[in-house]
Amino acid sequence: MGQIALEGLEFFAFHGYYDEEQKIGNKYGVDLRVRTNLYRAGSTDHLSETVNYEVLYRVVAEEMQAPARLLEHLAHRIIDRVMHEFGHVRWAEVSVSKFNPPVGGICQRARVTLKRKRPQPAL
């Protein structure tokens, strides 16, 4: 097993619990890690044997464009798509951050992190 990570992804998007947040938008950050078997990719040097970073990024970008009220919902959608579109991914973790959230004081970012492990196939 090995790990692939996309770190420090940044998006301007229109998420938020309050209607105003969904109108004016905000800056968001995403960190994504997946675990999969990297042996064949390492030995063959073929992109088809691993998780294509470009496709992984596109999945995140598409989900970031669809508005959500809660970071929890957004993270859930991202991890669902990753697990659905990459059947060989055994485990995934996603963190979604909102920069300067409206909390009534100074806060650089609010972050939600979700992890999911694919069930082992029955033998």
The set of catalytic residues is 98
Which string of DSSP letters, residue by residue, matches the chain?
Answer: -EEEEEEEEEEEE---SSHHHHHH-EEEEEEEEEEE--HHHHHH--GGGS--HHHHHHHHHHHHHS--S-HHHHHHHHHHHHHHH-TT--EEEEEEEEES--SSS--SEEEEEEEEEPPPPP-
